[in-house]
Amino acid sequence: MSSMKEREETFERMFVRDEELKFKATARRNKLLGLWAAEKLGKSGDEAEAYAKQVVVADFQEAGDEDVFRKIRGDFDAAGISEPDEVIRKKMIDLLAEAIEQVKSS
């Protein structure tokens, strides 16, 4: 009986760890995405960092990535930047892979 309990606790710890890594990787991806978008918007230095933070915060509006996508898309549209949706979405995917590697190595 105790081995079942130990197994259950091990799986719970693994789940918590995996969710924590997922959260960190998504936040890191959003920051990297924000920095990429900031460059496209002509921002640099502190202004780029502040914009990247806005992108990270935008992710707390709803579950999933659509809130982050809408933030970038809206800001690009407002600035007259004609970046196709597919490019933004691909960048999100590519940067998530990069963020996962960064989180795993830290």
**Start-to-end CA span in the chain (Å):** 37
User: Is position 81 within any domain?
Assistant: yes
Domain hosting 31: range is 23-105
Residue at 10 is within a domain = no
Q: Is residue 3 part of a domain?
A: no
Query: Per the domain annotation, does 62 fall within a domain?
Result: yes
CA distance 93 to 104: 17
CATH code for the domain in which residue 69 is found: 1.10.790.20
pLDDT of residue 14: 83
Q: pLDDT tens for residues 94-103?
A: 999 999 999 9
CB 28 within 8 A of CB 102: yes
What pLDDT digit, counting tens, does each position of 35-92 carry?
Answer: 999 999 999 999 999 999 999 999 988 888 999 999 999 999 999 999 999 999 999 9
Would residue 70 count as lying in a domain?
A: yes
Would 83 be classed as within a structural domain?
yes
At 1 the pLDDT is 55
Q: Does residue 94 sit within a domain?
A: yes
Q: State the total domains in the chain.
A: 1
- Does residue 2 register a pLDDT over 80? no
